[in-house]
Amino acid sequence: MSRIRLNQEYRNKIANRMRVHLEQEDTQEKEAYLKAREEMKPLQDITWKLAEQIVRRHYTPEDVEKAWYLQNKFENVNTIAKDSCFHFGYQGQVEERDENDKPIMKDKYIESHFDFRLNGNINGNENSRDMDFGYAYFRDELKGREGCNPDINIEMKDKPSNPHQQKFQDANDKYLGTNGGRENQTSYAREWNNDYVLDLIGREYCRDRSIACNKEEYDVLMFWQQKKGHLITCHEKWIESILNQMKEIKVGLKGYKYLDEAIELCTELGLSVNDAEIIRTNSTGLVIYNPKNLADRIKGMKNKNISREQKIALRKAYDTQQQSQQK
């Protein structure tokens, strides 16, 4: 039987199967992402309780009740509303330089903005929004939705903004309900945001409601905010690992002439596929990559985190090898 040649349609089909396979693999990068995602909601709930305690020290339940009474009684009173973000701060010290360029400590009110909404910022900037947190946390839900792509910003990293990226961003945001304000939220954003709402007295903007806390409370809030960024980073590292592997796979597929070479590569990488699943077409190949060598190269792109014990073992093995070569 003559060998079946590859064409671009066939290569794309193999590549798509490989992408699914790589996402299903249990790797250190994936485990770190899943762990960060699992820990996020309980941490947010605990941090929200702390935020509520801080707010209620400043705006007591009695104050809130009076404010609602006045607002409901008088049409020209608009002093209380529900909110999910706050400016918290404490009186601390920061290091500065004197006229002789020597370090000195000066008193300063240290403050940041904390937003508990699904698209809330992770940098303390009141005017900032971060959609990547929702993409990372609800990745499975977005992945299963036709027209959505939770990995789009990672795939387009370091590339100019383009209609392809914008199309998926719009679809993601619409499905999660993070665009259009409170009145246009679908279940994911609504259910998330409704868990983190307080009655606050003040004017419309968060900055008009800066609330004092102590340093220990501030540090807890900062830890939670950093963990939001950590989830985004874990998502990025996992998907970037997959994208790097896919880049090598596509180069290899481009170089193969025959179907059996592509099937051998899939087998070496742990994916079971046969020629009955592939449409037969004609094509010409470029440089041929040895499937086993390419598979080993791709496997080496994941599980890069090495424990201290592994590093010691590798060093001992290296020293032993060097000693044997010197004899």
Q: Is residue 100 part of a domain?
A: yes
Distance of CA 276 to the CA centre of its chain: 38
- Decide: residue 245, CB within 10 A, 0-12 exposed, 13-18 middle, 19+ buried: buried
pLDDT at 240 over 50: yes
pLDDT at 256 over 70: yes
Angle, CA of 185, 189 and 193, to the nearest 5°: 110
One-letter amino acid for residue 143 of the chain: K
> Under DSSP, is residue 229 helix (H, G, I), strand (E, B) or coil?
helix
Instruction: Give residue 281's pLDDT band: very low, low, confident or very high (50, 70, 90).
Output: very low
Q: Is residue 137 part of a domain?
A: no
Per-residue pLDDT at 284:
27
pLDDT single digits (tens) 297-310:
677 666 666 555 66
Q: Is residue 152 part of a domain?
A: no
pLDDT at 198 over 60: yes
Strand order in the sheet with 85-97: 103-115, 85-97, 210-212
Determine the structural domain holding residue 272 and report its residue range: 8-116+196-326
Q: Is residue 228 part of a domain?
A: yes
CA nearest neighbour of 54 among 283, 245, 214 = 214
Number of domains in the chain: 1
Q: Is residue 179 part of a domain?
A: no
Per-residue pLDDT at 187:
79
* Spatial distance between the Cα atoms of 296 and 192, rounded to a whole number of angstroms: 43
pLDDT single digits (tens) 87-135:
999 999 988 888 888 888 999 999 999 999 999 999 888 777 789 999 9
Residues 6+ apart with CB under 8 A from 12: none
Q: Which residue has the higher pLDDT, 290 or 193?
A: 193
Q: Is residue 173 part of a domain?
A: no
Please state the rounded mean pLDDT for residues 259-279.
84
Compute φ and ψ for 244, nearest 5 degrees: -65, -40
Instruction: Give residue 203's pLDDT band: very low, low, confident or very high (50, 70, 90).
Output: low
> How many percent of the chain have pLDDT more than 90?
59
Instruction: Give residue 230's pLDDT band: very low, low, confident or very high (50, 70, 90).
Output: very high
pLDDT single digits (tens) 126-165:
777 789 999 999 999 999 898 999 999 999 999 998 999 9
Say if strands 210-212 and 85-97 run parallel, antiparallel, or are unpaired.
parallel
Per-residue pLDDT at 276:
75
Per-residue pLDDT at 285:
27
* Spatial distance between the Cα atoms of 24 and 19, rounded to a whole number of angstroms: 9
pLDDT at 226 over 80: yes
Q: Is residue 3 part of a domain?
A: no
Per-residue pLDDT at 236:
97
One-letter amino acid for residue 151 of the chain: D
Q: Is residue 310 part of a domain?
A: yes
What is the residue-averaged pLDDT of the chain?
85
Residues 6+ apart with CB under 8 A from 168: 147, 148, 149, 152
- Decide: residue 134, CB within 10 A, 0-12 exposed, 13-18 middle, 19+ buried: buried
Instruction: Give residue 313's pLDDT band: very low, low, confident or very high (50, 70, 90).
Output: low
pTM of the model: 0.80
